[in-house]
Amino acid sequence: MKIKIGIMGSASGPIMRNKGFQKKAYRVGKAVAENNCYLVNGACPGLPEEAARGAKEASGTCIGISPAFSQEEHIKVYKSPIKNHDIIIYTGFGLMERDILNVRTSSGVIILGGGIGTLNEFTIAYDEGIPLGVLLDGGGITNHIPKILKICKRKITKNLIFDKDPGKLVKRLIKLIKKDPRPKYEDNRVRKAKKSKTIKIHR
């Protein structure tokens, strides 16, 4: 089965006024397709859509996980695109609950520039032990992840990588996924903590 790489990032706001961030997102998507992986995103506009466009222009396959109940709600209420997707799953879950399915559909996740919503997707993937790549200098939270983890008393784990280069980040994440795939059980970190008295659960 092909690797599915989730691309999470800002759908709107100040980040989208920076053409450099958009170009980086496009290059990430293109690299996903060129490395024979599926691209997964939240079927939203903004940086995830730029990544989808890059993947499609490289003959890739894109899967969108929409917060909407239907295509009509997706387009009219969420103002979201359908053009660069091969498959869109209409969850009806809304934005926050959609994030969980978005992350869990992915073999690994790449974090682009973003704010609170993107941070939510990062924390879901981090907490569940899913291989994670952060595109540095991509805007928003990307360069602040180490500081956020330090404030939360968490560590940069072996399945969390950082890179400024979109192509290199994708290749490194694929290698990481093959070496250390995503957990097979929900709440894997909690299960591990029960087996070891030295591991603490921070909330």
- Which pair of tokens denotes residue 197? 């008295």
Q: For residue range 124-153, what is the model confidence (pLDDT) as tens digits?
A: 999 999 999 999 998 899 999 999 999 999
Q: For residue range 41-90, what is the model confidence (pLDDT) as tens digits?
A: 999 999 999 999 999 999 999 999 999 999 999 999 999 999 999 999 99
CA–CA gap between residue 121 and residue 40 (Å, rounded): 13
E-strand spans in 59-101? 62-66, 87-90
Partners of 114 in beta bridges: 140
What single-letter amino acid sits at 85? H
Domains and CATH numbers, the chain: 4-195 (3.40.50.450)
Q: Average pLDDT of 20-36?
A: 96
Which one, of 121, 136, 140, lies nearest residue 169 by Cα?
A: 136
Cα–chain center distance at 176: 15
Cα–chain center distance at 133: 8
pTM for this model (two decimals): 0.89
CB atoms within 10 A of CB 92: 13
Which one, of 80, 79, 32, lies nearest residue 56 by Cα?
A: 32
pLDDT given at position 203: 43
